[in-house]
Chain A
Amino acid sequence: MSVLGDLWPYVVLVLVGFLPNEIWRWLGVVAAHRAGEQSEFLTWARAVATAVLAGVVAKIIFFAPGALASVPLAVRLAATVVAVIAYLLIRRSIFAGVLCGSIALVLGGLVLAP
């Protein structure tokens, strides 16, 4: 019983975490099976995935989780703009964009602390 007791959290992890999550990757493998590299279906799937990713970005910025919510919305939006502009201006470097955005966020949070 104690062996099962120790393993139980991992059984739960597989049943209610791994399986409901991984099934979508398996369905993706099945759906990709017939799609060619230049197919219309692929173009559509990529557009859907990009829109979801953009949606995740917008939701985190507008409805910030945890400690990020301690920074005012205006600062979060301004830091996002700073990140994109820094990326465009500084050799198209994601690192430069992310770094400048984070600095803007911390400084803005300090200046405009609620």
Chain B
Amino acid sequence: MTAAQGFRHGLRTAIVSVFALVLVGTYVSVGALAHDFGFSASWVAAQTVLIWAAPAQVIMITAMGAGASPLEVAIAVGLSAVRLMPMVVALLPILRTPRTRGWQLVITAHFTAASMWIEALRLAPDVPREARIGFANGLGVAFMSVAVASAVGGYFLAFSLPTALVAALLFLTPSSFLIGAIRNSRRMVDWLALAFGLALAPVLALGAVRLDLLWTGLVGGTAAYLVQRLRGGR
């Protein structure tokens, strides 16, 4: 399989993935939010391509809409995006070959977000290694295209959607992420990280701990890793 065939395989895989549907739900609400806060449709489309992380986009829209200073917005966006780093670290070694260039990794890293990460982590090992970067980019391009179209659609339509439907759309994110993480869990460390993360985040948030998600990841992930090490499992 060539890189171009891998790319087309990624496009086809993404379009029939349940995460394409999840992105429709997520980005319809991002588009509607941008509309409500007075941004333009082309701006939210550009934001989706450039940031490509729904939580950071929601934070940026609401913070700027509320009149926060540029520095405050940048800090809030930056804090929400720390989670992208371990995702990129865990994914790239699976995708690259010894001949992969640095700029190619920067492009694939840009496409890395929760939906693409879950699907690439599961499916890339079945793709021949020389086609994996193309496959991941195909996933990313297709998912991003769906997201941009949904954000623009949501910008013009979503403010008239019934509350029950919007609630169901918002529920797509946690349910699909949870099932995706369950499906991707093979080793004990994956299951422990999942359980620790589910348990820690609400406790830290209730305790009004600052940077709760960051601590959830560092404490929960490190604890899962250490238990695996101590038990001697792989």
Contacts and interface: CB of A to CB of B under 8 A. Distances in A.
Binding between chains A and B: yes
Interface of A: 9-10, 12-29, 31-32, 35-37, 39-68, 70-71, 76, 79-80, 83-84, 87, 92, 94-95, 97-98, 101-102, 105-106, 109-110
A113 B168 CA distance: 14
B213 interface: yes
Contacts of B29: 66
13 contacts: A9-B43, A10-B46, A25-B85, A28-B84, A28-B89, A40-B229, A42-B89, A50-B190, A51-B219, A51-B224, A56-B174, A58-B197, A62-B202
Contacts of A63: 202, 205
Interface string B31-71: 00000000110010011001101011100100010000011
B46 A102 contact: no
Interface of B: 18, 21-22, 29, 39-40, 43, 46-47, 50-51, 53, 55-57, 60, 64, 70-71, 73-75, 77-78, 80-94, 102, 105-106, 109-110, 112, 114, 117-118, 163-164, 166-168, 170-185, 189-190, 192-202, 205, 212-214, 216-222, 224-225, 228-229
A58 B83 CA distance: 15
A28 B168 contact: no
A64 B181 contact: no
Given A51-B224, A110-B164, A92 B183 contact: yes
Contacts of A53: 83, 114, 118, 177, 181, 197
Nearest to A66: B170
Contact of A101 (B163, B175, B205): B175
B83 A13 contact: no
A49 to B, nearest CB: 4
Contact of A52 (B47, B51, B197, B199): B197
For the complex of A and B, the 6 pairs showing the least CB-CB separation, nearest first, are A28-B88, A54-B197, A48-B221, A55-B201, A51-B220, A20-B78
Contacts of B47: 13, 17
Given A21-B53, A66-B29, 14 more contacts: A16-B64, A19-B74, A24-B88, A28-B88, A35-B93, A36-B93, A48-B217, A50-B224, A51-B217, A54-B194, A54-B196, A62-B202, A63-B205, A98-B22
